[in-house]
């Protein structure tokens, strides 16, 4: 590839038939193939700016989507006054035997995840290519603790996540600032698709998002999330932190197949930051709300430490843990059944619009 020809632009390409059909087209136009995504029949590529139109009009290319930035969905903790902790429901299985894949900023080896036994079953780094678990931002570690921390470092169940017996598959797709490209998220999804049977991954948590570029059927992250659900994996996504304005649900939370989670505080109220529906195609979202204000969970800075964070990023793993517990107790349950069961168990919040609370509070 000749870097002097102009600015390089990242895209996600969808062929009319097979991804092999557009390999040569990309390479002939000085492009670079970053990832192959057979699970959604797409390529992640870098293309010189002056070659974009040439590739776009190629008869073998069906569609091009910009490889745009994805971000974690936390709020500054100083905007809230005191720390609280989400109550952990008494689930019989505790998620034992099931793995939750957390696509995020990575995970630190906190005692609540590695003692008395190491429950970090796998770690993949799509940012820096490192092999050992780490988290240079802290967001992913905090998220993982809400879903499956066991309270070991604190010596109390008060610090347990909703699925303290589940295993963790951590996929680092966001950088030290909590940002990344859609292509890295999709590459992590591809890894889950390829390995979910080996690790018994039943749930994927996505405490991240982007504002949708259009209707959900042409949104890259939504396409990826939908394919995982079709494969038999529950996908739980944060709703976003752009409320109280309507139509602010982020992708992939706009997908009708995804369990989209907004936030509530310790009083059962939905905070202003929690994104509201409907989606671009008019569907009611979020699906439910869960604790997301000043949530205490694992710190990446210390193997025994805890910190407080807020945002729908904290709400999603609460529900991901519940989904994992249900899957552990019902191994053959399809994601549609899991979602339906969780939504039916939600408690409606009085005088609150469905596009604010979904079916209610979990």
Active site residues per annotation? 104, 139, 313
The answer to whether 40 touches 224, Cβ cutoff 8 Å, is: yes
Q: Which two tokens stand for residue 197?
A: 């049977």
Prior bond to 252 cis, omega within 30? yes
Dihedrals phi, psi of 319, to nearest 5 degrees: -75, -35
How many Å apart are CA 213 and CA 101, to the nearest integer? 25
The answer to whether 291 touches 318, Cβ cutoff 8 Å, is: yes
Residue that has been written with the tokens 């042409």 in this structure:
218
SS (H, E, C) 166-180: CEEEEEECCCCCCEE
Pairing, β 306-309 against β 295-298: antiparallel
Angle at which helix 312-329 crosses helix 335-344, to 10 degrees, equals 110
Q: Any residues with CB less than 8 A from the CB of 4 and at least 6 apart, and which?
A: none
* Longest CA span, the chain: 62
DSSP string, 292-355: -SSEEEE-SS-TT-EEEEBSHHHHHHHHHHHHHHHHHHSTT--HHHHHHHHHHT-BPPTT--HH
Q: Does the CA dihedral 193-197-202-205 come out positive or negative?
A: negative
């Amino acid at each position: 590839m000749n870097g002097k020809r102009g600015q390089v632009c990242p895209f996600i390409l969808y062929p009319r038939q097979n991804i092999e059909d557009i390999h040569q087209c990309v390479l002939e136009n000085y492009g670079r193939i970053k990832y192959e995504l057979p699970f959604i029949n797409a390529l992640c590529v870098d293309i010189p700016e002056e070659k974009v139109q040439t590739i776009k009009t190629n008869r073998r290319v069906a569609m091009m989507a910009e490889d745009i930035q994805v971000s974690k969905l936390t709020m500054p903790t100083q905007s809230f006054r005191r720390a609280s902790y989400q109550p952990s429901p008494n689930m019989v299985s505790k998620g034992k035997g099931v793995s939750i894949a957390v696509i995020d900023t990575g995970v630190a080896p906190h005692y609540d995840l590695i003692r008395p036994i190491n429950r970090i079953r796998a770690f993949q780094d799509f940012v820096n290519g490192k092999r050992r678990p780490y988290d240079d931002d802290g967001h992913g570690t905090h998220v993982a603790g809400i879903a499956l921390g066991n309270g070991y470092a604190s010596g109390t169940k008060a610090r347990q996540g909703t699925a303290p017996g589940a295993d963790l598959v951590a996929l680092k797709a966001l950088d030290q600032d909590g940002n990344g490209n859609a292509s890295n998220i999709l590459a992590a999804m591809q890894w889950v698709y390829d390995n979910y049977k080996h690790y018994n991954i039943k749930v994927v948590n996505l405490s991240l998002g982007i504002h949708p570029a259009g209707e959900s059927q042409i949104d890259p992250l939504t396409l990826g999330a939908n394919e995982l659900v079709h494969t038999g994996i529950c996908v739980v996504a944060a709703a976003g932190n752009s409320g109280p304005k309507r139509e602010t649900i982020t992708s992939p939370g706009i997908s009708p197949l995804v369990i989209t989670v907004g936030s509530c505080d310790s009083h059962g109220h939905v905070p202003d930051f929690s994104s509201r529906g409907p989606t671009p195609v008019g569907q009611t979202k979020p699906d439910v709300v869960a604790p997301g204000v000043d949530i205490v969970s694992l710190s990446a800075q210390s193997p025994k430490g805890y910190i407080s964070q807020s945002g729908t990023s904290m709400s999603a793993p609460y529900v991901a843990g519940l989904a994992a517990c249900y899957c552990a107790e019902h191994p053959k349950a399809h994601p549609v059944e899991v979602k339906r069961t969780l939504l039916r168990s939600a408690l409606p919040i009085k005088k609150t619009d469905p596009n604010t609370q979904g079916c209610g509070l979990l």
